[in-house]
C-alpha cells in the first residue's frame, strides 16, 4: 500500500546516520530507521503473507523484538485498516498508553487520532482511530455493545503468555467470533515459547516465530537469603552503579508503587550523599498511576556518562521494553492476587515469582549486549522454592465481574465455556452465588433486570450494586463520589514523613461527620468541588490532586452511565445512614464484627481481620462494633481497607436472603455466635442447578 513507502525508503541499517545528500536525519526519519532495525522488520513480508493465508496466527518473539508496536502498523500499511480497525489488547494500562504513544509518534500522528488507546475510564480514541490499543478488560466491555467485533478487521491478543483473567476469557470469545466471521483475522502474540498450547486451543493454528538474538546474561545469586529484599535491592543498585562500566542501565523488579517510591527516595538520598564522587544516577520509577510525562522518562536515552535505574513491577518483565538495560536486579517477588473460593476472600499478596518469570526478568539484561542479573535470593531457592510457572490468574481470582459480563453476553452455560485452563468449579459457583445474593441473577441463574443494569458499569459487581441501591436511599450523588474515589486506583491522601502529624490531622478533619472512610472520601470530594477544584486547597489538606482529578473523570462517566440505566440522581450529603445502607447493599459480604479481644472477625468465616492503619476508624476511642469493608489487603496482617460503620439490623433488612436474625442476634452480647448461617439453603440449591 501507499503508506508503506516511507518504511521502504531510505535503506536503514545499524550504521546509517545520514540521509541521502549527507544532511542530518530528522527526528522522524531517525525513528523510521529505528523501526527497521527491530528484529521483526526482516520478517515483515513473511508475516503479512501468513496473516493473509491464515485466519488465526500465533506469533512468538522475544520481548522488545517489535511485536506490539510494529505488527499493527504493518497491517495498517497494507490496508487492513481500510476495512476495519486493527485492535491490540494489553493486560496493563500503562503498556496500552505507552505503546499507543510510541506508535502514534512512529506514524507521525497525534495520539488519539489514527492511533489511540482505550483503558478503563479513559478513552483516547476518535472517529479517525484505525489502530487501537486497549486493555483486555476494555475489549471485554466492548463486546457488550459489539458482540461480533464488527468494527475490527484484525484483533491482536497481545502478551498472551501473561494469562490474565481477561485475556483468558477473551480467548474463548474471539475464537467463537473467528468461527462465524471468516473475514476476521486473529493474532495471538506471546513472548514465550510455550506457543503450542495457544496453537492447540485455536484448532492447531499456525505458529509464526520471529527469531531473535539474545546476548548471554550472567546470573548472580546471593550466598544467603536476604532478610529485607528492598534494602538488598538498594545496596545492589549502588554497588552495580559504582563498580560496573557505563553505559549500561539498571532495571529493578519490585512489587508495587509504595515500594518503588520508597526505593526511589532512598536511592536519591544515598547518591546525593555520595556527591560528585560517583557518576550521576537517574532514578526513574514506573507504575500505573504515575503521570504520563514521568512515565515517558524511562524511555529517554540516558545522557552520556550517567546511568539510569528503572524501578518497576513485573510490568517491565515483558510489556514494556526499555533500551539500554544491561543490569537486572530481581528481588524474586511480585504482588499477586490470591483467592479462596471457599471463604470468598481475595487478597493481594507479595509472592515469590515463578522460575519462568525470573528467567524473563533476567532476559531483560541481554537485549543489546551481554548483561548481568543479580538475583536477590539463593541458587538453592531458585531450584527448590520457585514454582516452574505462574498460575494463570483465572485460577486465583474472584470471577464475579467476568461471570456477570459473560451472562450479559448471553453465555449461560459457563461450565461448558471454552477456557484454556478452566477456573476451579468452586470459583465459578462462588461467583454465581455472589451474583445471586446481589440480585444480579435469579434462582435459575439468569440475568435479572438489576443484573443487566449492573453490567453496564465498569465496576466490580459490589460497587455497581451500591450505585444502583443508592437510588433507594436518595444519595446517588454521594455514592457516585465515593465510588469514584474508591476507584481512582491511588491513595487519595498524601502523607509525607516529615509532615505526618499535619497530614493525619487533615485527614481526621474530613472524618468529622461520620460514615467512616466512605464519609471521609465524600467530604474530601465535596469540599474540593466547593473550592472549584482548587489545587492549592489539595496542598493545604494533604490530598493528592492527581487522585482527585482522576476521581472527577471517573465520576463523570459513572454519572453518564446512571443516566443510561435510568438511575435517578438524588442527593443527601449530611445523612450518613442512607450512604451506609447503600454501601451495605453492595458489600454485605464484607461484614466484620468486633470480637472480645478487640480485633475483628468476618461474619461469614470468623476470619480475624484488622482495620488498616490508614483508615479513619483505626484506633478510634469508640471503635465501631460492626463494619463493612471495601477490600482486604494482606501485608503483615489481614487488613480491611476503607471501612464504614453499620448497624447489624441493616444486614437482615438489606440482605434477608443472606443474613437471618440469628446471625446478628448476639450483637448486643459480647459473645460471638458459634455457627453463622451466612449461606442460606435457599440460595445454594438454585445455584447448583445452574452449574449442573
Ligand atoms: P515487543 O512487543 O516484541 O516486546 P515492542 O513493539 O513493544 O516489542 O518494542 C519494540 C521496540 O520499540 C523496543 O525495543 C523499544 O526500542 C521501542 N519502544 C517501545 N515502546 C517505546 C516507547 N514508549 N518509547 C520509546 N521506545 C519504545
Ligand atoms: Mg509487546
pLDDT tens, 445-492?
Answer: 999 999 999 999 999 999 999 999 999 999 999 999 999 999 987 789
Q: For residue 317, how far is its CA from the centre of ligand 1 (angstroms)?
A: 13
* 642 Cβ closer than 6 Å to some ligand 1 atom: no
**Nearest CA owner, ligand 1 atom 15:** 321
Radius of gyration of the chain measured on its C-alpha atoms: 26
Q: For residue 35, how far is its CA from the centre of ligand 1 (angstroms)?
A: 9
Q: For residue 360, how far is its CA from the centre of ligand 2 (angstroms)?
A: 13
SS3 163: coil
- Lowest-pLDDT choice from 292-296, 424-428, 613-617: 292-296
For 465-500, give one letter per residue: b (16+ CB within 10 A) or e: bbbbbbbebbbbbbbbbbbbbbbbebebbbbeeeee
User: Are the C-beta atoms of residues 334 and 255 closer than 8 Å to each other?
Assistant: yes
Q: Tell me the β-bridge partners of 58.
A: 188, 207
Binning pLDDT at 50, 70 and 90, where does residue 666 land? low
Binning pLDDT at 50, 70 and 90, where does residue 139 land? very high
Mean pLDDT, rounded, for 7-27? 54
Mean pLDDT, rounded, for 648-659? 92
Q: pLDDT tens digit string along 237-274?
A: 999 999 998 789 999 999 998 899 999 999 999 998 88
Q: Which of 391, 310, 326 is nearest to 355 (CA)?
A: 391
* 38 Cβ closer than 6 Å to some ligand 1 atom: yes
Is a pLDDT exceeding 60 seen at residue 34?
A: yes
Check residue 26 and give its pLDDT.
87
Binning pLDDT at 50, 70 and 90, where does residue 597 land? confident
Is a pLDDT exceeding 50 seen at residue 147?
A: yes
- Provide the strand spans (E) within 50-106: 56-61, 85-90
Look at 298 and 636; give whichever has higher pLDDT.
298
Q: pLDDT tens digit string along 102-116?
A: 999 999 999 999 999
Check residue 319 and give its pLDDT.
83
Mean pLDDT, rounded, for 416-435? 93
Look at 292 and 627; give whichever has higher pLDDT.
627
* 161 Cβ closer than 6 Å to some ligand 1 atom: no
Mean pLDDT, rounded, for 654-683? 57
Ligand 1 atom closest to the Cα of residue 65 is 3
Q: For residue 553, how far is its CA from the centre of ligand 1 (angstroms)?
A: 29
Is a pLDDT exceeding 80 seen at residue 51?
A: yes
Is beta strand 333-340 parallel, antiparallel or unpaired with respect to 345-352? antiparallel
Query: Is the complex ipTM more than 0.95?
Result: yes
Q: For residue 315, how far is its CA from the centre of ligand 2 (angstroms)?
A: 11
**Ligand 1 binding pocket mutation candidate from 27, 42, 66, 310 (most atoms within 8 A of CB):** 66
Q: For residue 56, how far is its CA from the centre of ligand 1 (angstroms)?
A: 24
**Nearest CA owner, ligand 1 atom 22:** 102
**Nearest CA owner, ligand 1 atom 26:** 299
User: Are the C-beta atoms of residues 538 and 443 closer than 8 Å to each other?
Assistant: no
Identify the nearest ligand to the CA of 71 by its number: 1
Binning pLDDT at 50, 70 and 90, where does residue 676 land? very low
Check residue 275 and give its pLDDT.
75
pTM: predicted TM-score of the whole model, two decimal places: 0.87
Place of cell 541481554: 366
User: CA distances (Å), 231 to each of 260, 323, 473, in order?
Assistant: 12, 26, 50
Q: For residue 552, how far is its CA from the centre of ligand 1 (angstroms)?
A: 32
Percentage of the chain modeled with pLDDT above 90: 73
**Nearest CA owner, ligand 1 atom 21:** 102
- Cα–Cα distance between 331 and 533 in angstroms, integer? 40
* 65 Cβ closer than 6 Å to some ligand 1 atom: yes
| Mean confidence (pLDDT) of the chain | 89
User: In which element (H, E) is residue 640 found?
Assistant: strand 638-645
**Ligand 1 binding pocket mutation candidate from 36, 115, 187, 321 (most atoms within 8 A of CB):** 321
Q: What DSSP character marks residue 291?
A: -
Check residue 294 and give its pLDDT.
84
Amino acid at each position: 500500500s501507499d503508506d508503506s513507502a516511507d518504511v521502504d525508503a531510505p535503506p536503514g541499517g545499524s550504521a546509517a546516520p545520514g540521509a541521502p545528500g549527507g544532511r542530518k536525519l530528522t527526528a522522524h526519519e531517525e525513528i523510521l530507521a529505528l523501526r527497521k532495525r527491530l528484529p521483526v522488520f526482516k520478517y515483515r513480508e513473511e508475516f503479512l503473507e501468513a496473516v493473509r493465508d491464515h485466519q488465526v496466527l500465533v506469533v512468538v518473539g522475544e520481548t522488545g523484538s517489535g511485536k506490539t508496536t510494529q505488527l499493527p502498523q504493518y497491517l495498517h500499511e497494507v490496508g487492513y485498516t481500510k476495512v476495519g480497525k486493527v485492535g491490540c489488547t494489553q493486560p496493563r494500562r500503562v503498556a496500552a498508553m505507552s505503546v499507543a504513544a510510541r506508535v502514534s509518534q512512529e506514524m507521525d500522528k497525534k495520539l488519539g487520532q489514527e492511533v489511540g488507546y482505550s483503558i478503563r475510564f479513559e478513552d483516547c480514541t476518535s472517529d479517525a482511530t484505525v489502530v487501537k490499543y486497549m486493555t483486555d478488560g476494555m475489549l471485554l466491555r466492548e463486546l457488550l455493545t459489539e458482540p461480533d467485533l464488527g468494527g475490527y478487521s484484525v484483533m491482536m491478543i497481545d502478551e498472551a503468555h501473561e494469562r490474565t483473567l481477561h485475556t483468558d476469557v477473551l480467548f474463548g470469545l474471539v475464537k467463537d467470533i473467528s468461527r462465524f466471521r471468516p473475514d476476521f483475522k486473529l493474532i495471538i502474540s506471546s513472548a514465550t515459547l510455550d506457543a503450542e498450547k495457544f496453537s492447540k486451543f485455536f484448532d492447531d493454528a499456525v505458529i509464526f516465530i520471529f527469531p531473535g538474538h539474545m546476548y548471554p546474561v550472567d546470573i548472580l545469586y546471593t550466598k544467603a537469603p536476604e532478610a529485607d529484599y528492598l534494602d538488598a535491592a538498594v545496596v545492589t543498585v549502588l554497588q552495580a552503579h559504582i563498580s560496573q562500566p557505563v553505559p549500561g542501565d539498571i532495571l529493578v523488579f519490585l512489587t508495587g508503587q509504595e515500594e518503588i517510591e520508597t526505593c526511589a527516595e532512598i536511592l536519591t538520598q544515598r547518591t546525593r550523599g555520595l556527591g560528585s564522587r560517583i557518576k550521576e544516577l537517574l532514578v526513574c520509577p514506573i507504575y500505573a498511576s504515575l503521570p504520563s510525562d514521568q512515565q515517558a522518562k524511562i524511555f529517554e536515552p540516558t545522557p552520556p556518562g550517567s546511568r539510569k535505574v528503572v524501578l518497576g513491577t513485573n510490568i517491565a518483565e515483558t510489556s514494556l521494553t526499555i533500551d539500554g538495560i544491561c543490569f537486572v536486579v530481581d528481588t524474586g517477588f511480585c504482588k499477586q492476587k490470591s483467592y479462596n473460593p471457599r471463604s470468598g476472600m481475595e487478597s493481594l499478596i507479595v509472592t515469590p515469582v515463578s522460575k519462568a518469570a525470573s528467567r524473563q526478568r533476567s532476559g531483560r539484561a541481554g537485549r543489546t549486549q551481554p548483561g548481568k542479573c543479580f538475583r536477590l535470593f539463593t541458587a538453592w531457592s531458585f531450584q527448590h522454592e520457585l514454582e516452574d510457572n505462574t498460575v494463570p490468574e483465572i485460577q486465583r481470582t474472584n470471577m464475579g465481574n467476568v461471570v456477570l459480563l459473560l451472562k450479559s453476553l448471553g453465555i449461560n452455560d459457563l461450565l461448558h465455556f471454552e477456557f484454556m485452563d478452566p477456573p476451579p468449579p468452586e470459583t465459578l459457583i462462588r461467583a454465581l452465588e455472589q451474583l445471586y445474593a446481589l440480585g444480579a441473577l435469579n434462582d435459575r441463574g439468569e440475568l435479572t433486570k438489576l443484573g443487566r443494569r449492573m453490567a453496564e458499569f465498569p465496576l466490580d459487581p459490589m460497587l455497581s450494586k451500591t450505585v444502583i441501591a443508592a437510588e433507594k436511599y436518595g444519595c446517588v450523588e454521594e455514592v457516585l463520589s465515593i465510588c469514584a474515589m474508591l476507584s481512582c486506583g491511588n491513595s487519595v491522601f498524601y502523607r509525607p514523613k516529615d509532615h505526618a502529624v499535619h497530614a493525619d490531622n487533615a485527614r481526621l478533619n474530613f472524618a468529622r461527620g461520620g460514615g467512616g472512610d466512605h464519609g471521609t472520601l465524600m467530604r474530601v470530594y465535596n469540599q474540593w468541588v466547593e473550592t472549584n477544584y482548587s489545587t492549592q486547597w489539595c496542598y493545604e489538606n494533604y490530598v493528592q490532586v492527581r487522585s482527585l482529578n482522576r476521581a472527577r473523570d471517573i465520576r463523570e462517566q459513572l454519572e453518564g452511565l446512571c443516566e443510561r440505566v435510568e438511575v435517578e440522581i438524588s442527593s443527601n450529603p449530611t445523612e450518613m445512614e442512607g450512604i451506609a445502607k447503600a454501601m451495605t447493599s453492595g458489600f454485605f459480604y464484607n461484614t466484620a464484627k468486633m470480637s472480645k479481644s478487640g480485633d475483628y472477625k468476618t461474619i461469614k468465616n470468623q476470619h480475624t481481620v484488622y482495620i488498616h492503619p490508614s483508615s479513619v476508624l483505626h484506633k478510634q476511642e469508640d471503635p465501631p462494633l460492626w463494619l463493612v469493608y471495601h477490600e482486604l489487603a494482606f501485608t503483615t496482617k489481614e487488613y480491611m481497607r476503607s471501612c464504614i460503620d453499620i448497624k447489624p439490623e441493616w444486614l437482615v433488612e438489606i440482605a434477608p436472603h443472606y443474613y437471618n436474625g440469628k446471625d446478628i442476634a448476639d450483637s448486643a452480647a459480647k459473645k460471638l455466635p458459634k455457627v453463622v448461617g451466612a449461606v442460606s439453603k435457599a440460595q445454594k440449591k438454585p445455584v447448583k442447578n445452574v452449574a449442573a
